[in-house]
Amino acid sequence: MIFVIFPAALAGAALLLLSIRYVRHRPRGFARAFDDFRPALATHRGYGKHASIPENTVTAFQASEKLGFRAHELDVRRTRDRQIMLLHGPRLEETTDGHGRMEDSDAQTVKKLNAAHYITHEHPTVKARRESVPTLPEVLAAISPQALINVEIKRDRWDFSRGLEEETLRLVLASPARDRVYFSGFHFLTLWRLRSLRCPLPVGLLVEPGIFSHSKNFLYRFLLLPDNIHLHESRESATYMQRLKRRGYGLAFWTVNNLEQVHRLFATGADVVITDRMEFIRDFRRGPKNAKNLPGRAQRKKISRKRTALA
């Protein structure tokens, strides 16, 4: 009998402790984490997915900023020699003239690839110049000092290697952009590692669409204590959004390419909406109209610039 009661008691105690931890968690939503935050329309990969300007390149971010964007989403992966570079992936051939996974190539090899390779096939009327695959520090240095930056950490489903989150966080904290960066990720290990590193920047849970999306959202929120929730545009629900906002979470939506839905999401309480449609910025140069969550005075303390164990 004791072999049943003792494990059950342990499980009950663990559940109780996790529940207390969850209830006590105060998410660092966008308005709480960033001084003078205003809801923002953000670029997807710099200038949109598979756009006529190569995605996840310095050129893409600079081109969208000329249009008026001051918020961006980008994707990072780690090379075999532990360099952090921009690529959505999962394979190099999706956008470059390389082959295989970035994780199986060294940075010098990846740097020689043409990040604009896909444009000649998808946009045959566009004459694209050659673009290199940038490192994360190169992009952080090139983006406007006023821009918010969503660094999405990409892990393949069965990738359990160590070091990706540690090195990404170290590079961000060492850059002048550190006070404007927030992280996001789909992978359980990504959020777990950032939490265990006591990441001083907001961390977002990315939730893909599907029949288990609500279950994953709750389970990961319960176990990993994220600050922001990044939902697919198909998961728009005013009731659900209000429930998450009451709990203190920041809300981001991806990838919204319908202008009416963009306006509706901001009016319902979205903090960040990510889009491929660069022309939408004409409606938002002065910020979203009728946004529910325009901030009051700044609520956060400045992030410590100590780099202690991460240096």
pLDDT (tens digit per residue) in 120-156: 888 888 887 899 999 999 999 999 999 999 999 999 9
Whether pLDDT at 67 is above 90: yes
- Rounded CA gap, 220 and 225, in Å? 7
- The structural domains of the chain, with segments of one domain joined by +, span 29-293
> Mean per-residue pLDDT for 28-38?
95
The answer to whether the CB of 197 falls within 8 A of the CB of 169 is yes
Q: What is the pLDDT of residues 186-197, one digit of tens each?
A: 999 999 999 999
The alpha carbons of the chain give a radius of gyration, in whole angstroms, of 20
> Mean per-residue pLDDT for 10-18?
76
- Rounded CA gap, 300 and 205, in Å? 21
Sign of CA dihedral 181, 173, 86, 89: negative
**307: confidence class by pLDDT, cuts 50, 70, 90:** very low
Q: What is the pTM for the complete model shown?
A: 0.90
Q: What is the pLDDT of residues 206-259, one digit of tens each?
A: 998 888 888 888 999 999 999 999 999 999 999 999 999 999 999 999 999 999
Whether pLDDT at 295 is above 90: no
The predicted pLDDT at position 280 comes to 97
The predicted pLDDT at position 3 comes to 63
The predicted pLDDT at position 76 comes to 98
The answer to whether the CB of 118 falls within 8 A of the CB of 108 is no
Q: Which two tokens stand for residue 177?
A: 């952009």
198: phi then psi, degrees, rounded to nearest 5? 55, 50
Which of residues 306 and 105 earns the better pLDDT score? 105
Compute the residue count for the chain. 311
The predicted pLDDT at position 5 comes to 74
CATH topology of domain 29-293: TIM Barrel (3.20.20)
**4: confidence class by pLDDT, cuts 50, 70, 90:** low
Show Cβ contacts of residue 280 under 8 Å, excluding neighbours closer than 6 positions.
Answer: 41, 259, 262
> Mean per-residue pLDDT for 160-179?
96
pLDDT above 90 as % of the chain: 75
